[in-house]
């Protein structure tokens, strides 16, 4: 996916009540996991995901909330 496709996908998920929850199930950490919860901090952080390279995403994951 290019950056704008990723941005559109993330915007679609957050508009429909999903929040970013960290890496998905891929062992290389190339996928993103969204859960059907409205977690305010995670929704704000998800607006930055499309700007960040996947290798730097692990630093953003320190700030996500699981509640």
pLDDT at 18 over 60: yes
- Based on the structure, what is the number of domains in the chain? 1
The CA distance from 25 to 11, in Å, is 21
Q: Which domain holds residue 57?
A: 3-63
Q: 20 phi and psi, to 5 degrees?
A: -65, 135
Higher per-residue pLDDT: 38 or 9:
9
Higher per-residue pLDDT: 25 or 67:
25
Supply the pLDDT for residue 12: 93
Q: What is the largest CA-CA distance in the chain?
A: 30
Supply the pLDDT for residue 7: 87
């Amino acid at each position: 996916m290019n950056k704008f496709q990723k941005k559109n996908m993330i915007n679609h998920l957050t508009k429909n009540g999903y929040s970013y929850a960290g890496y998905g199930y891929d062992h290389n950490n190339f996928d993103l996991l969204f859960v059907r919860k409205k977690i305010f901090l995670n929704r704000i952080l998800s607006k930055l995901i499309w700007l960040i390279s996947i290798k730097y995403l692990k630093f953003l994951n320190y700030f996500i909330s699981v509640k």
